[in-house]
Amino acid sequence: HEKDKAYTSKMEVRFFGKTTKINFEGVWSIEDGKHVVVKVTKSTSKVFLPVGKVIRMDEARVDDKGLHYKHDGKPETETRVTSSPG
């Protein structure tokens, strides 16, 4: 792996019945050979993902359906979405 690679994400968070879209960027690295760590460098949400926040992904694995990991002990999946030019 190469350390400090770009990480970009767009997500929707539902909180108290309201959906909020969040875009953020960061850099990722591998910690202790088993944790993917993302440090947020740019974000549209100061509440959910403020700049400087560190996200630790445990038991990370990638397959044809996406990136799977545990965050705070809960299973999470991120689906890769590509957009067409134009």
Q: What is the pLDDT along the chain (86 residues), one digit of tens a residue?
A: 345 588 888 888 888 889 889 999 999 888 887 788 989 999 999 988 999 999 888 888 888 888 888 988 899 888 776 655 54
> Can you read off the two tokens belonging to residue 51?
């700049």
> Can you read off the two tokens belonging to residue 74?
């809960």
Distance CA 49, CA 63 (A): 26
φ, ψ of residue 55 in degrees (nearest 5): -110, 125
Distance CA 28, CA 19 (A): 27
